[in-house]
Amino acid sequence: MRFEKKELLKPNIMVPFLTTLVVGLLVHFPVMVQNLPNADAMTNFYFDQNMVTSGRWFLTIACGFSSYYDLKWLIGVLSILFLAIAAVLLVKVFDLRDYVAMGLTGALLVSFPAVSATFAYMYTADGYFMAFALSVLAVLLTKRYKKTGWLFGAVALCLSMGTYQAYLAATILLCLFDLILACIGNNKPKDTLMQGVRYLGMGVLGGILYCVILKICLAVQGKELDTYQGINGMGKLSLSAFPGMVLDAYKDFAGFLRSGKIFILNGFSYAALILLFGIAFLAAIILMVRTGAIRKWYQVLMIVLFVILIPLGCNVILLISSEAFYHLLMRMQWGLFPVAAVVLTERMITFRKNGKEAGKEEEKETGYYGKLKIAAGLAATFGALLLCWQFFLSDQIAYFNMNERYEKTYAYCVRLADRIEQTPGYYTGMPVMMIGVLDPEKYPVTDITGGVTERIYGSTGDMLIYKGEQYKAFMEHYLNVSLNVITDDEKVVEIYNSDAYREMDSFPAADSVKVVDGILYVKTEPPEKKEAE
């Protein structure tokens, strides 16, 4: 891969790069210029991103370029730049020639709601999207350079997993898509299988490198893997449990496809999906007929096999850790499905055999088939644009609720801080006992976005924070109020189970804040319900 000026200015680089950059800034501008934190951000105003206990040993380096402060504009711009690079790499992986398809690839990628879910965790977003770009680069290197590309691809995949393991699914999905396209194009079975072997070698070597470096980092820092998301069980595969894990992967795939509330929200999204994926399916059939793949049973068999593997590739983390909670941040690979639909349509319109145009520089066709290609291209383009618009709306609704949630939390904390400071016997620095969970019966439910944001992890809900430590950070940074919140678990449990604490009502009741034995008790969660006599 050359990086000369004339190479960088080629349309297959500039079109996806600039489209992703412009669309990304338009879609995600609100979260980049407003203070829209989530609960985890309260403890990450400055964080060195040393997440080796979560298996993310490269994250501290990936995020170090933008410093370790929660700099929303800078991190947002860097994140979109990494996504723009990923879009360029996708164009090269699929060898797109059509400018509209190149632009749609970038627009679909950067507007996909998994991006807004990641931006809810802005303090780490640039590192994550660097990892995504690396996951795509791993595929491109393996595909482009037949002899040594899989070795360099393994390094790229290793770094991607060392930053965020979930993007392994994106790499696997891209490999499967490329192999399916090879079969549809009626490539020689030997070539397709050898490419599959190279992809497999890249994945295995990348995984081994990742695990080796992880063990070294853990040993050097004297740490162990955390239990979060079952990461400490990574690699400990039980043969007896494996069939159930495979079944869970297929169930999760079907469940998210049916009720994930990311692709299907309303009639417009239905129309977009029918147009885009309907045309893509038609394009796949037409291509198989024109290339002759449909008449060869082994090509059809390989296509069926690779399609069957797609749900496993999408949910590979469930095969690594059965305890993983698959939230939207871990589903960035789903954004590759509409991109694949665009690629199939583009292949039909600019029909190429074995990667080269059939006949002249560009096949000119008239008659019914020529008109069909024009109609299909227009319909698929309209469907992709309509889907981008639906993604855009979901992103904006998510950012709307994040703003609402911040404002309500701010107002609540102002009232709570005032009550604390007015409590007889309270002084700054006094130990404070509070859990942080709110009593839902005391406040109106004003989150009107649940139907849209339910699956956009990090942006849903009525309130921003729910732990005592988060209240402490929020009040210190936004209200200039110091709270000495008790964090010792044993002490918290002891007070929580005491009669004095249990008999208190929840804020804003008169007895919800009081001093007991030199400790300020602040009760926000629902009071214990008394059994009926």
Q: Would the pLDDT of 343 be above 70?
A: yes
Q: Would the pLDDT of 531 be above 50?
A: no
Least Cα distance to 115 among 140, 139, 132 occurs for 132
Tell me what the mean pLDDT of segment 133-150 comes to: 96
Confidence of residue 235 (pLDDT cuts 50, 70, 90): low
For 7-11, 94-98, 410-414, which range has the lowest pLDDT when averaged over its residues? 7-11
Q: Would the pLDDT of 37 be above 70?
A: yes
Q: What angle do CA 88, 91, 96 make, to 5 degrees?
A: 145
For 86-90, 226-230, 298-302, 440-444, which range has the lowest pLDDT when averaged over its residues? 226-230
pLDDT of residue 322: 67
Most confident listed range (141-145, 316-320, 490-494): 141-145
Q: Would the pLDDT of 66 be above 70?
A: yes
Q: Which SS3 state, helix, strand or coil, does residue 478 take?
A: helix
- CA max distance for the chain: 90
Confidence of residue 445 (pLDDT cuts 50, 70, 90): confident
pLDDT of residue 154: 97
pLDDT of residue 171: 97
CA distance 275 to 179: 24
Confidence of residue 5 (pLDDT cuts 50, 70, 90): low
pLDDT of residue 200: 97
Q: Would the pLDDT of 380 be above 80?
A: yes
CA distance 289 to 128: 41
Tell me what the mean pLDDT of segment 283-299 comes to: 93
For 128-142, 151-165, 166-180, 243-257, which range has the lowest pLDDT when averaged over its residues? 243-257
300-303 own/partner pairs: CB under 8 Å, 24+ apart: 300/183, 302/179, 302/183, 302/189, 302/192, 303/180, 303/183, 303/184
Confidence of residue 327 (pLDDT cuts 50, 70, 90): confident
Sign of CA dihedral 59, 61, 63, 67: positive
pLDDT digits (tens, 9 = 90+) for 514-524: 999 999 999 99
Confidence of residue 263 (pLDDT cuts 50, 70, 90): confident
Confidence of residue 266 (pLDDT cuts 50, 70, 90): confident
Look up residue 4 and give its two tokens.
């000369």
Q: Would the pLDDT of 283 be above 70?
A: yes
Look up residue 96 and give its two tokens.
């797109």
Tell me what the mean pLDDT of segment 523-530 comes to: 77
The tokens 């997440």 sit on which residue? 51
Q: Would the pLDDT of 162 be above 60?
A: yes
Q: Would the pLDDT of 358 be above 60?
A: no
pLDDT of residue 360: 44
Confidence of residue 450 (pLDDT cuts 50, 70, 90): confident
Tell me what the mean pLDDT of segment 496-513 comes to: 91
For 262-276, 414-428, 517-531, which range has the lowest pLDDT when averaged over its residues? 517-531
Tell me what the mean pLDDT of segment 67-88 comes to: 96
Least Cα distance to 374 among 98, 16, 107, 13 occurs for 98
In which element (H, E) is residue 509 found?
A: none
Tell me what the mean pLDDT of segment 360-364 comes to: 46
> Under 8 Å CB-to-CB from 441, ≥6 apart: which residues?
526
pLDDT of residue 355: 45
The DSSP bridge partners found for residue 356 are: 353
Residue of higher predicted confidence among 210 and 257: 210
Q: Which SS3 state, helix, strand or coil, does residue 353 take?
A: strand
pLDDT of residue 78: 97
pLDDT of residue 203: 96
pLDDT of residue 378: 93
Q: Would the pLDDT of 182 be above 90?
A: yes
Q: Would the pLDDT of 2 be above 60?
A: no
Structural contact between residues 345 and 280, judged by C-beta atoms closer than 8 angstroms: yes
Q: Would the pLDDT of 224 be above 50?
A: yes
Q: DSSP readout, 35-65?
A: ----GGGGG-SB----BGGGTBTTHHHHHHT
pLDDT of residue 533: 39
> Under 8 Å CB-to-CB from 501, ≥6 apart: which residues?
433, 495, 516, 521, 523
Confidence of residue 339 (pLDDT cuts 50, 70, 90): very high
pLDDT of residue 356: 47
For 5-9, 423-427, 463-467, 489-493, which range has the lowest pLDDT when averaged over its residues? 5-9
Confidence of residue 467 (pLDDT cuts 50, 70, 90): confident
C-alpha separations of 69 from 72, 77, 152, 269, 361 in Å: 9, 15, 32, 37, 52
Residue of higher predicted confidence among 81 and 229: 81
Q: Are strands 431-433 and 356-357 parallel, antiparallel or unpaired?
A: unpaired
